[in-house]
Chains A and B, each alone.
Chain A
């Protein structure tokens, strides 16, 4: 009896009814998109690095890395890259002086003190600020911050530091660059602080901590690697930023850390030089690639550090 019922049942089909070509095609397309972006990035890197042998056959490697006068376009050119590296570091340093305390402060406020409503309003605004075009910041630096600094410069400062800045200054560019990266620093720091388990906060409150103590003694140390990752990413953005420094920092390659002088950061050099006027095959032409490759290496290393820190932070709590 039971055997008849079994044989009466229609045969079970486990073989695919169609080969599902559409699905395969979509899968292929998605895979292609993922790989293409990687391939294109690799292509850019190759394009940046491949002219380097030619450059170093024209310019002595030691001159590039050990002298400090930068004048690649002069009749008797000099290629001391430290000059513009210091220009970049100068601007970045002032950017950090603005962005670190402000970014960390904003993150602490949002994660530990802000009420639900304040947070709901402020966090999206902060994230929107990340999308403001950098040229807008550049104009802000040039038309607002520069005159502000010039008119209110503390002239009582000793020595050259007391001289008010001119039309271009590292300080104005640095301050605006700092304002520009506050959202980056704050939002990554806030993410990692919010990820600190509630139980740690409760433990701290249970021992009689004030809100400030919970924030500074428990949450910030617990989220430290994430906070540092935000800082590093901010630094890397500041180093790579072009528009603000192009408009506000100037074009004179002064090797200085002073805020009231004009400097030529690496990106500003590239931005000024890589125009339609440049003739391919000249020394200056190859210089762009050398500076670009160095800049790429610097920000790449910074981003790697940032990723490693974020990963270390995740491991701790997951």
Chain B
């Protein structure tokens, strides 16, 4: 299978560093619907991996299975493995809450809590009972790293709902990094933002590479090309058993290879804008 070979080729070239996260034979079902089929991916430390592909190809489903967010959907079911530092996070003894503390998430639509800016950032450390010397230092640090501090430092007690969409999304990133996760999952974080706010988030992601492993789902191919180190291309095919739509991983490689010299014709068609 193509995905398998490209994954192996990829691991060979960089295999010296064990990946932070990996999926092996990952299948996700929603009830009877087989959403993604046999995905094998490795996510390397302090890199940005982009998951791209047309709508309905299962890239968000894959992302949400990486920190067990799919557990919240009653009909969702998973086969295969998702490993985090070698441990399968779907083993029965694993607590999804512990998983999510280490693998944070930023969503498509900014979703600040109806609380003050300060309390939004402090929420994670508080619920996880993190040992913090000074909460205000941690909040400042997180907001600085999310490139939002200068804009909100005089209004920390103000409601998060008073911020613009782009500011709210940076607040959500600050909120995610306040708990010092290891991996940050971003589900189309810029799709609700204007180009200027998008540029700010992209700069931020590039900065955050120094500390975090990031995995981003995006519809924007230029964005994937600009910020990611590796890219996985998914597409929606037809299930041979029942003829229903099913998401498949087509190709996974360095971003430059995916965009300039893809192995698969469908990848080339997609990245050059001929379909999708």
Using CB atoms and an 8 Å cutoff, list the residues of chain A in contact with chain B.
115-116, 197, 199-210, 213, 217-218, 221-222, 316
The residues of B that contact A203 with a CB separation of less than 8 Å are 107, 111-113, 172, 175
Docked-complex contact A205 and B100, CB < 8 angstroms: yes
A213 to B105, CA, bound (A): 17
- When C-beta atoms are compared, the residue in chain B nearest to A197 turns out to be B111
Q: What residues of B have a CB within 8 angstroms of the CB of A207 in the complex?
A: 100-101, 104, 123-124, 127-128, 175-176, 179
B74 interface contact, C-beta 8 A: yes
* Bound form: Cα–Cα A203–B69 in Å: 10
Nearest CB of chain B from residue A203's CB, rounded to whole Å: 4
Q: Does B219 contact A (CB under 8 A)?
A: no
Question: Contact partner of B107 among A115, A206, A218, CB < 8 A?
Answer: A206
A200 contacts B111, C-beta separation under 8 Å: yes
The answer to whether B109 and A199 have CB atoms under 8 Å apart is yes
Decide: A213 and B127 in contact? CB cutoff 8 A. yes
Name which residue of chain B comes closest to A223, CB basis.
B114
Which B200-258 residues sit within 8 Å CB-CB of chain A? none
Task: Tell me the B residues contacting A by CB distance below 8 Å.
Answer: 67, 69, 72, 74, 97-98, 100-101, 104-107, 109, 111-115, 123-124, 127-128, 161, 172, 175-176, 179
Task: Give me 17 A-to-B residue pairs in the complex whose CB atoms sit less than 8 angstroms apart, sorted by A's number.
Answer: A197-B111, A199-B109, A200-B114, A202-B69, A202-B107, A202-B111, A203-B113, A203-B175, A204-B123, A205-B69, A206-B105, A206-B176, A207-B179, A208-B98, A208-B100, A208-B124, A210-B127
Q: How far is the CA of A202 from the CA of B69 in the complex (A)?
A: 8
**Shortest Cβ distance from residue B21 to the other chain A in the assembled complex, whole angstroms:** 16
Once the chains bind, are A206 and B69 in contact (CB under 8 Å)? Answer: yes
Bound CA–CA A201/B104 (angstroms): 14
In the assembled complex, the Cα of A59 lies from the Cα of B101 at a distance in Å of 69
Contacts of A222 in B (CB 8 A): 113-114
Smallest CB gap from A224: residue in B: B114
Contacts of A208 in B (CB 8 A): 97-98, 100-101, 124, 127-128, 179
Query: Which of B111, B128, B161 is the one whose CB lies under 8 Å from A199?
Result: B111
Nearest 7 Cβ contacts at the A-B interface? A208-B101, A206-B105, A207-B124, A199-B111, A203-B111, A208-B100, A213-B127
With A203-B113, A221-B114 known, 11 other A-B pairs at CB within 8 A are A200-B114, A201-B72, A202-B111, A203-B111, A203-B112, A206-B100, A206-B106, A207-B104, A207-B124, A207-B176, A208-B127
Choose one: B97, B100, B114, B172; the contact of A316 (CB below 8 Å): B114
Q: Which residues of B contact A213 (CB under 8 A)?
A: 127
Partner of A205, one of B72, B113, B172, B179: B72
Q: Which residues of A contact B115 (CB under 8 A)?
A: 221
Residues of the A chain whose Cβ atoms lie less than 8 Å from the Cβ of B128: 207-208
Nearest residue (CB) in A for B106 is: A206
How far, in Å, is A227 (CB) from chain B's closest CB? 13
Known: A203-B172, A204-B123. A209 touches B111 (CB 8 A): no
Measured between alpha carbons, how far is A210 from B67 in the docked complex, in Å?
Answer: 14
CB proximity of B98 to chain A, nearest CB, Å: 7
Please name all residues of chain A whose beta carbon is closer than 8 Å to the beta carbon of B109 when the two chains form the complex.
199
**Assembled-state Cα–Cα distance A208/B97 (Å):** 5
Chain B residues in 8 Å Cβ range of A202: 69, 72, 105, 107, 111
Minimum CB–CB distance from A222 to chain B (whole Å) comes to 5
Q: Which residues of A contact B101 (CB under 8 A)?
A: 207-208
Task: Give the residues in chain A near B106, CB-CB below 8 Å.
Answer: 206
